[in-house]
Amino acid sequence: MTQAVEIAKSVSQAGEELADFIQRYPKLWVITGAGVSTDSGIPDYRDADGQWKRPPPVQHGDFMGSFAVRQRYWARALVGFKAMREAQVSGAHKALAALEAMGFIELLVTQNVDRLHQRAGSKRVVDLHGRADLVKCMSCDYTMMRHAMHSEMAVMNPRFAALDARYAPDGDADLETDFSTFKVFDCPRCGGILKPDVVYYGDVVPPARRLAAQAGLSNAGAVLAVGTSLMVFSGYRFCRDAHGLGLPVASLSLGVTRADALLTHQWRAPLTPVLEQAVSCLQSD
């Protein structure tokens, strides 16, 4: 049997098993991670072993406390955010939206900040880590669309706006140069620090989002983690809570997860074809 046939058989079997899981536990609480968006052209942070592929992202305290860090962040973002802006929904996003439309998903909690689930048609979504398309003033709460801020900074920094580099996760880019001349666009209302409306490392998930996710979990029949290693505690905690409640916890990803010891079902397989196969099985029943 060729490798291609073996993979196809594995995908087909995993898809059928996932469909069976969904039929048995139709009120799914789904949590998604970066693996769902890699087919959309947005790089992820971790490998199949859950280890960092690259240096960890910026810390909240460093961003807030250092003008030089903000210069570097925004200069790289002028290049790297194109990956987020140009990303198209993947088959995995569409399959999850289809499962919601079929009535199988109680709530979808995403650790991603790209809003691709909503663009694919999912409606019952909690953006656990926020939205990368918005920026917010840390002093007066003024909010503006990120593309508008980038347009202002491109005019202020034409040399940086003309640069190119390899895309990195979450709108970053692998750009290394002298950032000391980069002009940062500050809050037009009060002059305060503008920050993407996302939860950085060292920050905390706003209570309203955490409570919304917990409320969905209390109504769920099972948990399905898709495309996430669950290495970040803000996502892992819900799998731990579900296990404590006696709920089945399943994972579909290409590698290990922090919750492996808690899982009742696990499929290490490519996301999109497995999800599409599961949807196909459920539609034919």
Residues known to be catalytic? 129
- Fold for 3-284, please state it: Rossmann fold (3.40.50)
* Residues annotated within a binding site: 137, 140, 187, 190
* Residues annotated within a binding site for Zn(2+): 137, 140, 187, 190
Domain spans, the chain: 3-284
In 3D space, the residue among 180, 197, 256, 184 whose CA is nearest the CA of residue 225 turns out to be 256
CB of 58 closer than 8 Å to CB of 69: yes
**Does 260 score more than 60 pLDDT?**
yes
**Does 1 score more than 80 pLDDT?**
no
**Does 53 score more than 70 pLDDT?**
no
Predicted pLDDT at 170: 74
Q: Taking the model in full, what pTM does it have?
A: 0.92
Model confidence pLDDT, tens digit, residues 174-223: 899 999 999 999 999 999 999 999 998 888 999 999 999 999 999 999 99
